[in-house]
Amino acid sequence: MDLKGNPSQHGYYMPAEWEPHTQCWMGWPERPDNWRDNAVPAQHVFAKVASSISKFESVTVCASTAQWAYARSLLPDNIRVVEMSMNDSWFRDTGPTFVVRKSDSHSENQQKIAGIDWDFNSWGGVDDGCYTDWNLDLLVARKILAIERVPRFPHSIILEGGSIHVDGEGTCLTTEECLLNKNRNPHMTKELIEDELKAYLGVKKIIWLPRGLYGDEDTNGHIDNMCCFAKPGVVLLSWTDDELDPQYERSVEALSILTNTTDANGRKLQVIKLHVPGTLYMSDEEARGLVKNGEAKARPPGTRLAASYVNFYIANGAIITPQFGDQKWDDEAVRILSLAFPDHEVVRIEGAREIVLGGGNIHCITQQQPACP
């Protein structure tokens, strides 16, 4: 069922990711031009992510007709596997953004959860996107909402879930590099985009960082690789101490903005630095494992991988965090996250490099369905 107007008019808002979930949604990777070796290494890591999350909340994995039986065989029985067509498996960006209503707001006979179905253009359209056909991805959010019988707010703005982070109390983080990119909504001004975010996410203030993580060219600098909320008034920021790394300039730039602004409730932000792993590059062997057919963005050997520990998933009582095989910074990330989320168990996902090779990480492949407040 499609709802008219915008979510705010109906009393809906996007809750923070640490608020309770009913389940997590994930897709299943298979396209051989984006996932090396017919996606088998990535599939095993996706299964590891899904299995880890399922120990804390319900998980639904969506797989194509051709992949359903294989996905089912790799996943534990407590995970629901449903058949769904898709162009690729980035459910943070193609799945719905769920919004909720407080129990005492508006009509009691209206559902307390709904979903926003943003428009999608493969992160940049035919000339600048990650693949040339995204018709199946356009239906993912609608299908998820139909499965759950959740009302839908359609929106014509091109926006991906990885480009926004909220604190659940009126503040949204995003980047100019992504939302103001000419390959998204060139007809819209910054002010118009702000108005839409406020109306659809139920936020009052947008904090704009100029740029995302260095090397995150696939998404044009999604916020979920660069910075996120740990709780209201506290953010985690991708950081490096190496002044020769191009990421250093971006991190310092973001730190300056974050420490000189307040959230929607007037709080000065506390910034926790989360150091990126040592620089990672796609190897010759990894690049050779990709099918080159002109339908997906080329990933040549030597490409810098956009690896960040900020790209984690907050489950009910757990932080599902990527590990990149860099023991020093892997351990440091776990230490920092354990301090930032003292009531959560930090779960390491070894081998997360496989997800980075495809252009994202754990946050990018997951989409939380919040519980009703």
| pLDDT digit string, tens, across residues 206-227 | 999 999 999 999 999 999 999 9
User: Nearest-CA neighbor of 316 among 16, 112, 7?
Assistant: 16
How far lies 88's CA from each of 14, 122, 216, 306, 325, in Å?
25, 10, 18, 18, 26
Query: Distance between terminal CA atoms of the chain?
Result: 21
Closest CA to 348 of 332, 359, 372: 332
Q: Could you say which of 24, 172, 364, 372 is catalytic?
A: 364
Instruction: Give pLDDT, residue 111.
Output: 85
SS3 231: strand
Confidence of residue 109 (pLDDT cuts 50, 70, 90): low
Give the type of residue at 332: E
Which fold does the domain 7-370 belong to in CATH?
Answer: L-arginine/glycine Amidinotransferase; Chain A (3.75.10)
Confidence class for position 107, pLDDT limits 50, 70, 90: low
**pTM reported for the whole predicted model:** 0.97
β-partners of residue 347 are 320
Q: State yes or no: pLDDT of 126 exceeds 80.
A: yes
Distance of CA 186 to the CA centre of its chain: 23
Mean pLDDT of 71-90: 98
Computed over every residue of the chain, the mean pLDDT equals 96
Q: Which two tokens stand for residue 327?
A: 């023991």
Active site (annotated) includes residue 364: yes
With the CA atoms of 191, 195, 201 and 203 taken in that order, what torsion angle do they form, in degrees rounded to the nearest 10? 80
Residue 195 above 70 pLDDT? yes
Q: Categorize the per-residue pLDDT at 366 as very low, low, confident or very high, splitting at 50, 70 and 90.
A: very high
Burial 292-315 (b: 16+ CB within 10 A, else e): eeeebbebeeebebbbbbbbbbbb
What is the average per-residue pLDDT within 98-108? Answer: 74
Is residue 103's pLDDT more than 80? no
Contact 19, 168 (CB under 8 A): yes
Structure tokens belonging to residue 231 = 């709780």
Residue 87 near residue 133 (C-beta atoms within 8 A) = yes
The ranges assigned to domains in the chain are 7-370
> If DSSP codes are grouped into helix, strand and coil, which group holds residue 67?
coil
Backbone angles phi, psi at 108, to 5 degrees: -70, -20
Range in 64-78, 98-112, 267-281, 325-339 the model is least confident about? 98-112
pLDDT of residue 48: 98
Alpha helix segments (H runs only) across 260-348: 284-288, 327-340
In this structure, is the dihedral angle defined by the CA atoms of residues 341, 342, 343 and 346, taken in order, positive or negative? Answer: positive
Residues 223-245 have a mean pLDDT of 98
